[in-house]
Amino acid sequence: MSGELPLSGLRVADFSWFGAGPIAGLMLRTLGAEVIRVESQARMDGLRMTQPVPPGKEGSPNVSGYFNNYNAGKLSFTLDLSRPEARQVALDLLARSDVMIENYTPRVVQNWGLTYDEVVKVRPDIIYAQMPMQGSWGPHRDFLGFGAVIAPVAGYSHLSGWPDRLPSSMGVNYPDYVINPGHAVVAILAALRYRARTGNGQHIELAQVESVAATLGPFLLEYTVNDSVPERSGNRVAWACPHGAYRCQDGLPLPVAATLRMAASASPPPQLEDRWLAIAITNDAQWEGLLDVMGRPAWAQDERFTTFLGRKRHEDELDTHIEAWTSTLNAEEAMRQLQARGVPAGVVQSARDVLDHDEHLRERGFYQYINHAETGRSAYDGPGFRMSGAPFALGGPAPLIGEHNDYVLREVLNYSDERIAELLIGQVIY
């Protein structure tokens, strides 16, 4: 495939940090925009110092796999916005940019003097995208948080986990990776479309907590229509049965690091990974397919299991029967047999599985291997989509901090040597 990416020629000034904002910027970069990460060495993006990092590279701000994965192909420009002189540099950059992204609490851009009302004076048609946790007004406008806080506030954690246990996190800061950046990019693309038709810019406010709450519609309907507050149900859902993760035969040897961690615990370390298979039966045809693959076991003829409602009433016993069958099988082989019979089933994969052993992702070339100045050849998530008229590729590795200062100062801002020297001496840029 060859061709120009849809956002080629567009410039994004990405003032955000950590997760939701930078991932939105990454999506725009993948679509072809030039994305300039405006960073500060005085108050560095905490993601730059977050694990995992390659062995022996600890302490460098350029080697975090976390940061690098979500900033591939961007340019890094270091500007200390705590210094008054930095405001004019930021405004000069914004005057030459099409889109601005930031995801701080409202007081931060107010302190910088970079509110929409100020920025629009230098770029009247800018698309100014704010992503504060809880919006720019309201009693919680200055509350801090990341995806791990937004998920419980928006209602996710109350629904996550087992009914007899405390609410649990989702394991990752899910709102940061999917919901909030996805909504932000849709809004930015819509605003760009609006500008192309009218010539006018847009001030976008995406309150992250509202963005996440918007995805819980069915649970709100359950309360408003049926006066029932949905509770945690583990892997089960009301409309499917069986619906869960079932243990299979053990798989590959555990990685050395995991084995060593377990060896330090009270119990002896297992030598093989646990393997699990997710099965989700939503209709009778799928149930019949499952029975065919299982060899039509005698227990399935019991009248308790011949109807959906019967299976649902006896779900604990049903799960015990199914796991007795899956525990004798290789997870991948069981998945293939079930899928061949039209049964929704998938292996519960680890990070090692999806990166090294998933034949489907490997065949499609999802993971992009790119050479980075400090980490060497490293795996990056590929774009989440393919376009028939554009290449399926990232725009390059994540930037070293401040790597593109010279390009931004000279080619984007057209500053003179004297002006650059003043900023460097004053540590406005470093």
In the chain, CATH 3.30.1540.10 covers 243-361
Per-residue pLDDT of the chain (430 residues; tens, 9 = 90+): 456 899 999 999 999 999 999 999 999 999 999 999 999 999 999 999 999 999 999 999 999 999 999 999 999 999 999 999 999 999 999 999 999 999 999 999 999 999 999 999 999 999 999 999 999 999 999 998 888 899 999 998 999 999 999 998 877 788 898 899 999 999 999 999 999 999 999 999 999 999 999 998 889 999 999 999 999 999 999 999 999 999 999 877 777 555 555 555 555 555 778 999 999 999 999 999 999 999 999 999 999 999 999 999 999 999 999 999 999 999 999 999 999 999 999 999 999 999 999 999 999 999 999 999 999 999 999 998 889 888 888 889 999 999 999 999 999 999 999 999 999 999 999 8
User: Among this protein's residues, is 358 annotated catalytic?
Assistant: no
In the chain, CATH 3.40.50.10540 covers 11-206+365-425
CATH code, residues 243-361: 3.30.1540.10
- The structure tokens listed for 327 are 């525990």
As a dihedral over the C-alpha atoms of residue 230, residue 236, residue 241, residue 246, rounded to 10 degrees, the angle is 180
pLDDT at 252: 72
User: Which of 182, 228, 218 shows the shortest CA–CA distance to 384?
Assistant: 182
Orientation angle between helical segments 180-198 and 20-30, nearest 10 degrees: 50
**Catalytic entry in 176, 250, 274, 316:** 176
- Global pTM reads 0.91
The contacts of residue 428 (CB under 8 Å, 6+ apart) are 79, 80, 83, 85, 86, 89
Burial 222-238 (b: 16+ CB within 10 A, else e): eeeeeeeebebeeebee
Task: Please identify, in words, the CATH class of the domain defined by 11-206+365-425.
Answer: alpha beta
